Chain A
Amino acid sequence: MTENRIVCRNLTKIFHGIHAKQDVVACEDISIEIQPGEFVTVIGPSGCGKTSLLYMIAGFEQKTSGMILVDGKSVQSPGPDRAVVFQEFALFPWLTLRQNIEFGPRERGIQNDVMREHVNSMLRTVGLTAAESRYPHELSAGMRQRAALARVLVNEPKILLMDEPFAALDAQTRSTLQAELGRLAKLLNLTILFITHSVEEAVLLGDRVLAMSARPGRIIEDLAINLPRPRDPTSPAFNEYRRHVDLLLEQATRTAADTETTAN
């Protein structure tokens, strides 16, 4: 029971509008248990509350009801034990790429020469050494995404919360980084909650895939992917999983359309 790294129980998030009519139920009655070292991917229709769920675990948003435990302790506020890669990068525009990556180690008071070495190897890992003195707006979207990843990995977090981190990448870079992330996850025994829109990515990376319904977001299936790694996306077994998740999402989107029409 206490060996779970992340536990959510009956978690609900309501964003309150100006009028009660405008209240938005972003997540409803979500219960998840994630063990240390597990790689969990979350997939669901746009606007179903995936980011809201992630932000509650990160400590950015207050939950409306329910419970969130990280290592047995209730989550109250953000902290460096839970690294976040944002959907919109959120690099500091006034810092160069290198300074952005140095931000975390500096805040934690790491010695300068140790830090420099870590940052150098991190820059190499994400292939950004040549761009280290550029400002974020001078980088391509894919480079920014890699920078955002490097910025948190350099802190050696135990938990990594990622919001569609590879959405803006070309296929080649994406598969390189997917492989790299998979390797690092096992190497550092990272616990990862990974939001994606791509069914293939969800099945490729996840030990488990959580499928969410349209708003109000609920977990409609918690699917364990029992495939050996590295996974081959062209294998029949992989395709079997993919078809299953595709079907789930199709249903989720269709029921959403139905409820919309009955509501109106």
Chain B
Amino acid sequence: MTEQITSFTDRPSTGEREALIRAPVWLRKLALRFLVPVIFLIAWQAVTALAPTPSLPSPREVVDSWLVWIFGPRLQLQWYSGTWIEYVLLSLRRVLAGFAIAATAGVTFGLVLGWYALIHDLFDGVINFLRAIPTTAWVPFAVFFFGIHETAAIFLIAFGSFFPIVINVAGAARQTPRTLVRAALMLGTKPRNIIWRVVLRAALPAIFTSLRLGLGLAWVLVIVSEMLAVQGGLGYALWSAYQFNRLDLIVAAIVSVGCLGLASDKFLELLSMHALKWQRGLTGR
């Protein structure tokens, strides 16, 4: 009996106990997440070991080429040695610059477009027409206009990811609950400030969704424009690797793009969780 009591008091506090119970669950989740990729890698390695073909590199070869690409010495005319960090930074910078323009313009214009009926009637047709043109169709125009230059890539990224943002934000702005607008008006908000005090805040969940869509598109467009319009960057590496017949480097570049895309999306997700913490317990299950 006494033993029971002592063991009871010796137990960790509720918080610690929960942490102890949770840790394996957390670990299990992490393990589950990596299960499929690991099986895939093992299978890939097995296939290349059992039936080696010159055209299909093994995971080992990919990693080796990748290490050279990252840490190798910088050599004249050998883009695949020691340039990885520079290329990553180049692509990242283009995405950030283009996306920042698209996000600022898209959110601002989307709110105005959704909220003011006159602006909507003026621009809706034009925007829908421009949206119907695939952004890749603008590549020749951009190169013709800006030349093989950073601005061409940034223009394409900004222009392309602007549309999903503007359309979604405008849609959300139009859905602003009327009672909240009225509540703000009767509390003394000036009609011209409603768009910032109420519409923006009410549309914020949709704004974050649209930003994540736009960011995804920005990564697509940075690869396209680096393949076609500018030098350096992961898209440039992809295309050059293709021309040199280096599937190992193609794979390394693809995985690099995937990791960067995932990381930048995760960043936006964290930002949105912070900005939308009022929604916790309001939506979903």
Q: How many A-B residue pairs have CB under 8 A?
A: 70
Across-interface contacts of B187 in A (CB, < 8 A): 80, 83, 103-104, 107, 151-152, 155
How many A residues face the partner with a CB closer than 8 A?
29
As a 0/1 sequence over residues 179 to 190 of chain B, the CB contacts with chain A under 8 angstroms (1 = contact) are: 110111111111
| Contact assessment for A90 and B182 in the assembled complex, using a CB-CB cutoff below 8 Å | yes
Chain B interface helix/strand/loop/mixed: helix
From residue 158 to 195 of chain A, which have CB atoms closer than 8 A to chain B?
none
Separation in Å of the A79 CB from the closest CB of chain B? 7
A94 in contact with B278 given A86-B179, A88-B179 (CB within 8 Å): yes
Judge if B281 is at the interface, Cβ distance under 8 Å: yes
Judge if B213 is at the interface, Cβ distance under 8 Å: no
Judge if B77 is at the interface, Cβ distance under 8 Å: no
A107 in contact with B188 given A84-B182, A92-B183 (CB within 8 Å): yes
How many B residues face the partner with a CB closer than 8 A?
23
| Contact assessment for B204 and A79 in the assembled complex, using a CB-CB cutoff below 8 Å | no
Across-interface contacts of A151 in B (CB, < 8 A): 187
| Contact assessment for A107 and B281 in the assembled complex, using a CB-CB cutoff below 8 Å | no
Judge if A93 is at the interface, Cβ distance under 8 Å: yes
Give the complex CA separation of A94 and B279 in angstroms.
Answer: 7
Give the complex CA separation of A151 and B179 in angstroms.
Answer: 15
Separation in Å of the B76 CB from the closest CB of chain A? 57
Closest-by-CB residue of A relative to B179 is A90
| Contact assessment for B186 and A58 in the assembled complex, using a CB-CB cutoff below 8 Å | yes
| Contact assessment for A137 and B183 in the assembled complex, using a CB-CB cutoff below 8 Å | no
| Contact assessment for A104 and B281 in the assembled complex, using a CB-CB cutoff below 8 Å | no
Separation in Å of the B281 CB from the closest CB of chain A? 7
**Which residue numbers of A lie inside 8 Å of B, CB to CB?**
58-60, 77-80, 82-84, 86, 88, 90-96, 103-104, 107-108, 135, 137-138, 151-152, 155
Pairs A-B, 8 closest by C-beta atoms? A80-B188, A78-B185, A104-B187, A107-B188, A90-B179, A90-B183, A137-B282, A78-B186
**Which residue numbers of B lie inside 8 Å of A, CB to CB?**
177, 179-180, 182-191, 193, 197-198, 201-202, 204, 278-279, 281-282
